[in-house]
């Protein structure tokens, strides 16, 4: 028989509550560095916020000129850096249960004493669990924004970034363009060669798109065989040139299918952001341009003519 532990008491005693209240008061108002550090570190799951808190709290007890925290999460480099550095440094690999959660480096003009190094280690030991949780949270967050097949950002990421770009364009001006791309007659690829080949082609397409755009541009897969590119600081003419580069790059893909080689083409629709329109309207205009590209024979780029 399974033993269920019985609850010792069903009603809390007034004394228990008084102790709890007292402890809460002390915990909330405590100025001791550890209580304050752990209290603050428990307030967020954002790695950026936590490293900021760690830098602040560490700086209160051990002066330093610069602090850098680096960690690679889901193939991306997360870097938090504050201050300008100095010739003396100490570096800590943040390991917990055999897993590394980043590298913390402190620099300053004066050498760190043994006591100070011990103090830094104590602070790090109090921070490592919240940092680990924030790293896990960031991994999950990034997975939710990444397309599992191609590893490029997905529709959710695209919608977020289009909103952000339209907000920035409205506030600060500047050109933003969007290219929507759709592989031509992709259904035939699946039907004739199977889904495994279809999936392989989608991965190669994402790679071709990433190779055809600048580092400041972002490629998204927002549907089955639909991709998008968001181009900051880019007007209609330049965006059209990028779309043409994308078409050339995709046309160059060749998959060896034994007795034949498989190649595909892609159609593109371009729309420059127009002041005060919403992200949805912007996307709809790019989609209309893409629709025209499909209607006018595929393997071409069409631009939604904007108001100048
Ligand atoms: N292999 C594979 N196929 C997918 C995936 N997502 C969607 N598809 C297929 O993509 C095809 C899209 O077909 P359609 O929308 O008819 O478009 P199309 O054949 O490319 O024709 P046009 O766009 O008009 O040129 C469908 O057969 C879907 O099953 C995927 O993740 N992997």
Total domains in the fold of the chain: 2
137 C-alpha to ligand 1 centroid (Å): 33
> What's the pLDDT at 30?
86
Q: How far apart are CA 35 and CA 27, in angstroms?
A: 7
Q: Is the CB of 269 under 6 A from ligand 1?
A: no
For 98-125, b where at least 16 C-beta lie within 10 A, e where not — what string? eeebbebbbbbeeebeeebeebbeebee
Q: Do the domain assignments include residue 149?
A: no
Selected catalytic residue, list 210, 225, 226, 296: 225
94 and 66 belong to one structural domain: yes
Q: How far apart are CA 75 and CA 179, in angstroms?
A: 25
225 C-alpha to ligand 1 centroid (Å): 5
Q: Do the domain assignments include residue 121?
A: yes
pTM > 0.90: yes or no: no
Q: Do the domain assignments include residue 128?
A: yes
| 225 a catalytic residue | yes
123 and 170 belong to one structural domain: no
Q: Is the CB of 185 under 6 A from ligand 1?
A: yes
For residue 21, give the CATH number of its domain: 3.30.450.40
Domain that holds residue 266: 155-303
> What's the pLDDT at 287?
97
184 C-alpha to ligand 1 centroid (Å): 9
For residue 192, give the CATH number of its domain: 3.30.70.270
186 and 287 belong to one structural domain: yes
End-of-domain residue from the set 89, 118, 144: 144
End-of-domain residue from the set 144, 172, 195: 144
Q: Do the domain assignments include residue 9?
A: no
> What's the pLDDT at 2?
55
24 and 74 belong to one structural domain: yes
End-of-domain residue from the set 117, 144, 171: 144
> What's the pLDDT at 11?
74
Which positions of the chain have pLDDT values less than 70?
1-9, 306-308
90 and 38 belong to one structural domain: yes
Interface confidence (ipTM) of the complex: 0.95
Q: How far apart are CA 104 and CA 99, in angstroms?
A: 15
115 and 42 belong to one structural domain: yes
């Amino acid at each position: 028989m399974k033993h269920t532990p019985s609850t010792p008491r069903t009603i809390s005693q007034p004394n228990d509550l008084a102790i709890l209240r007292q402890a809460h008061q002390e915990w909330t108002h405590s100025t001791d560095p550890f209580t304050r550090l752990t209290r603050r570190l428990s307030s967020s799951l954002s790695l950026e916020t936590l490293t900021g808190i760690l830098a602040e709290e560490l700086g209160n007890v051990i002066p330093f000129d610069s602090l850098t925290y680096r960690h690679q999460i889901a193939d991306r480099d997360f870097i938090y850096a504050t201050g300008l550095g100095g010739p003396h440094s100490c570096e800590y690999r943040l390991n917990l249960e055999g897993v590394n959660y980043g590298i913390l480096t402190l620099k300053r003009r004066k050498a760190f004493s043994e006591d100070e190094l011990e103090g830094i280690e104590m602070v790090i030991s109090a921070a490592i669990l919240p940092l680990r949780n924030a790293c896990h949270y960031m991994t999950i967050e990034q997975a939710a924004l990444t397309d599992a097949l191609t590893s490029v950002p997905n529709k959710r990421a695209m919608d977020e970034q289009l909103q952000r770009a339209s907000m920035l364009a409205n506030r600060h001006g500047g050109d933003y363009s969007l290219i929507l791309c759709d592989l031509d007659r992709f259904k035939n690829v699946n039907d004739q060669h199977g889904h495994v080949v279809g999936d392989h082609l989608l991965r190669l397409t994402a790679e071709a798109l990433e190779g055809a755009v600048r580092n400041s541009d972002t490629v998204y897969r927002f549907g089955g065989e639909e991709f998008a590119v968001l181009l900051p600081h880019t007007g209609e003419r330049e965006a059209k040139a990028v779309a043409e580069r994308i078409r050339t790059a995709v046309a160059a893909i060749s998959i060896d299918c034994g007795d034949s080689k498989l190649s595909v083409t892609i159609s593109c629709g371009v729309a420059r952001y127009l002041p005060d329109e919403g992200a949805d309207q912007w996307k709809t205009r790019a989609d209309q341009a893409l629709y025209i590209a499909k209607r006018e024979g595929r393997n071409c780029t069409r631009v939604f003519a904007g108001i100048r």
